[in-house]
Structure 1
Amino acid sequence: MRSSEPTIGWFMLSEADRAAANRLLASASSDGTRDELGFAPIHFAFADRFFPGTSVQHAQLRYAFFAAWSYQELLERTAGERFPVDELFEIERRYSCRLIRTVERSDRPLEGSGISGWTKYQAEQRPVVRASTIYWTALRSWGMASRVAGLGEPPTETQLRALWPRLEVREDGDEGKSTTLDIFKGLPPAPPGWRNKTGALGFALRASEAEYLRRLWGRAGAGGTRPLLSRLTEQGVTTESLWSSSVRRAATSSEHHALTLAERAAAVACIARAAHSALIERKRNEDRKLEEHRHSDALPGLIEEHQDKALDLDVPALRKETNIDDALVKFIEAVIAWVREGKPLEAIAATITARERDLKDVRAYLVNEQRRRDWSKGIASPLDYRWPVVREMILRVREAT
């Protein structure tokens, strides 16, 4: 048997890089909250239906254009060659540094500015996760990226890189004339000076960009249908709550049903997470001889606030709508039964511990004393299905049109 050289390589990330990557994965897993109890399938099912292409990582809507213009610039220079990953990094560095300098000149803090990877760029390093990767799903889902090279749908970023050498097509005859395939048909042009290394650059959409998104969002739903995202944008609905009457007026009858299920499922998740946090807090107090009661004190109020919605949840209908698995169904039913019976926290402790252990194994907080040492968490809240992010997107589009 012929031997071969190993093909697996290793690379090392700093502690800060690993922490950043973990934060990204944790927040992307559900609604921006660590998903220790496995509610992410419900979050994704409803968020993707109502707001396709969105993500909790989408801090600034205009990044979708930055990503598209970056790839468009690369296409003009390197289509037909091997994908130039280093050049993409440099394009992203170029416009990111312009964003940073623009914010700094405005005397606003960079923290909270929405600039992706600004701490790394300031340290003259590369971000752990590039902005174009964070926003590529939006480009695909909204139809900003087109189908190429015989694919049945717009390519993933990985697929596009693999296809890069095939994006320059040489015609038969005509002295070998070549054509570069257009990935971003109808994309508004990059702003003047896009390729400059200096000059102000901001996140405010131009009118042409906002109108472009409105058109795309109008057919971004399943099978090219109009999703709730589009109708909310057209009607200018930016209420604080996803459960407002304004949102429901914009919804179709089937979306009304889905919104009801989503709101009630969000209430169950809030109560379960609150109980989970109270249990961790209690164990952490035992571990470290502490007297902390923030989560234990909050639990009764959260149950009182959300129990009516939780008890009204039609679990079979939720399962049909979201295709969640048996384990999550049984866990939801156990939480609802616990709330209905009004039993103390100890009565649900074994169920929550088993649920977290099944999902996280030895990393489960309730069975891992070492992980509990640095545990810190805000008071539990219902699933939000990305509405805070989507609300900001709608505001950005409305401001520009």
Structure 2
Amino acid sequence: MSSLTWVDFDAEEQKRVQHILAMFEESTTRNELGLAAIRDSISDHFFPGTSTIHTRLRYMLFIPWMLQEIEEREASERVNLTTLRKYEGLLIDALEAGGETNGVIGQRSRSQLQRLPTHIYWYGLESWGIRIFHGSLDSYLAALRQLKQTGGAISQINPEDTEPRSFLIESLPKAPEGFLDKVDFTLRTEEAEFLRDRLSKSHRNTLLTQLSVRDYADCNYVWEHPCLSELEEITRDLLEHARLFSHLMHGAALLYGLQICELLERDDWLEKHSEALHQWTTELELGALRHWSLDKLRGSDFHDFHAIKPKVRNFVAEWKTRVVETQGNLANDPKARELIKKRERGLKGSKSRFTNSSVRRMWNGETTSGRMDFRWPQANSYLRDLANAQ
């Protein structure tokens, strides 16, 4: 049997690269104060395989079904890519024919679509154990002919092989007849069971897995979920630390926005940020914060893709100190203001909004308005799709 050599880097390095690229693609990534590594570590621990640019859960099946069609061919990488793009376009039309209007990737851009669903969900498919091929999409498309020429059943794995021989896990549910003509986002019962099984086997103790087998509840933040008391103690503990971190650092984002509004002399934005900062102060849980530290979120509880640098930890610790000492009254605290300025200038250099008026004028005033939710909207959408399976 011939050797398959599509992997340019080892599997762990490829996963790191793909994950980093996926983060850069996320349209809601805002990192004025350099907290992305902590935020994404928590997000990946709670909701593995997700991204802020994911929409609906059934894409985790649409993509393997499209690639299943391509696997039956024996074509070049170029032809495989052309075929995949064709299928991506057909899927948009099929979802529209099925009555879907929300969450359809590429519905507006059509042929100009840059982020194909296959690229968007590629990492998640491997994370959940649906994608067996350990490599990039380009490597996968290039390897299909070689896989076909081995003479093996490419939709299965030979236990004697040390390298994966297929994109697809063998237990993948069968695609609906004519799904590229008309389809919707509603999962079939067997599809929901398959996805729950993949979560359970790939990410057994994560928050997403635990919530996937409980009653669905719509809430703004995951820590408001009514089933939290049923979760494992270690999960509840980590969730509480994440909640406190989210609230604590939202104040830093608001003070940053307040100072930029002052420099821009935008009274309307200034009033909005002043009110938001005041509201944040009234909701502070100073007793809980006094006993909280970032060390509670370090070690094995952090997802290992993200290195949390000492400067980040120091900034969070210093910010917490200012919050506790001022009891949250930070709007006019010179030390808190200087801490924010120093942090942003250190990160952005000549692109700092504090020092670069051109960059400052491009700010839209919205990037500090929301607190970190750790991709809960995307995860909640997945849980809703699982609960509504028919």
TM-score (ref. length: structure 1): 0.78
> Quick check: 2:44–2:50 contact (8 Å CA) kept in 1?
yes
- The correspondence of residues 260-275 of structure 1 with structure 2, limited to 5 A, is 260-275=240-255
% identical equivalent positions: 26
| Deviations 1:193-243, CA, capped at 9 Å, x for gaps | 1244xxx3211112221111111111222xxx3322122111124241321
1:254 corresponds to which residue?
234
1:17 corresponds to which residue?
none
Please state if 1:386 is matched with 2:375. yes
Please state if 1:363 is matched with 2:351. yes
CA distance in 1: counterparts of 2:77 and 2:369, whole angstroms: 50
Please state if 1:130 is matched with 2:119. no
Match of 1:78 among 74, 79, 88: 74
> Quick check: 1:83–1:164 contact (8 Å CA) kept in 2?
no
2:26 corresponds to which residue?
28
Shift of 1:267: 1.3
Structure 1's unaligned 5+ residue stretches are 1-23, 148-153, 172-177
**RMSD of equivalent CA atoms:** 2.6
Match of 2:208 among 204, 207, 229: 229
> Quick check: 2:47–2:379 contact (8 Å CA) kept in 1?
yes
1:351 corresponds to which residue?
339
Q: Residues 91, 291 of structure 1: CA spacing in aligned structure 2 closer, same or farther, 3 A cutoff?
A: closer
> Quick check: 1:274–1:295 contact (8 Å CA) kept in 2?
yes
SS of match in other structure, 2:372: coil
1:175 corresponds to which residue?
none
SS of match in other structure, 1:394: helix
Q: Residues 115, 81 of structure 1: CA spacing in aligned structure 2 closer, same or farther, 3 A cutoff?
A: closer
1:146 corresponds to which residue?
132
Shift of 1:350: 2.4
Q: Residues 291, 97 of structure 1: CA spacing in aligned structure 2 closer, same or farther, 3 A cutoff?
A: closer
Match of 1:219 among 201, 210, 220: 201
Q: Residues 300, 116 of structure 1: CA spacing in aligned structure 2 closer, same or farther, 3 A cutoff?
A: same
> Quick check: 1:51–1:229 contact (8 Å CA) kept in 2?
yes
- The correspondence of residues 159-178 of structure 1 with structure 2, limited to 5 A, is 159-171=139-151
Shift of 1:310: 4.1
> Quick check: 2:261–2:267 contact (8 Å CA) kept in 1?
no
| Deviations 1:80-100, CA, capped at 9 Å, x for gaps | 766622221111011112323
> Quick check: 2:54–2:120 contact (8 Å CA) kept in 1?
yes
TM-score (ref. length: structure 2): 0.80
> Quick check: 1:267–1:310 contact (8 Å CA) kept in 2?
no
Q: Residues 128, 388 of structure 1: CA spacing in aligned structure 2 closer, same or farther, 3 A cutoff?
A: same
CA distance in 2: counterparts of 1:310 and 1:283, whole angstroms: 31
CA distance in 1: counterparts of 2:98 and 2:243, whole angstroms: 40
| Deviations 1:107-149, CA, capped at 9 Å, x for gaps | xxx4xx111122111xxx32121111111122111111124xx
Match of 2:51 among 38, 49, 55: 55
CA distance in 2: counterparts of 1:58 and 1:25, whole angstroms: 12
Q: Residues 299, 26 of structure 1: CA spacing in aligned structure 2 closer, same or farther, 3 A cutoff?
A: farther
Match of 1:306 among 284, 289, 293: 284
CA distance in 1: counterparts of 2:178 and 2:283, whole angstroms: 53
CA distance in 2: counterparts of 1:87 and 1:336, whole angstroms: 53
CA distance in 2: counterparts of 1:57 and 1:349, whole angstroms: 33
| Deviations 1:143-201, CA, capped at 9 Å, x for gaps | 11124xxxxxx434344234334322435xxxxxx6434421211122111244xxx32
Shift of 1:306: 3.2
CA distance in 2: counterparts of 1:243 and 1:390, whole angstroms: 13
Q: Which moved more, 1:370-379 or 1:207-216?
A: 370-379
Match of 2:314 among 311, 330, 341: 330
Shift of 1:293: 2.1
Q: Residues 353, 204 of structure 1: CA spacing in aligned structure 2 closer, same or farther, 3 A cutoff?
A: same
1:92 corresponds to which residue?
88
CA distance in 2: counterparts of 1:317 and 1:261, whole angstroms: 7
Shift of 1:389: 1.5
Q: Residues 46, 289 of structure 1: CA spacing in aligned structure 2 closer, same or farther, 3 A cutoff?
A: closer
Structure 2's unaligned 5+ residue stretches are 1-21, 155-164
Shift of 1:332: 0.6
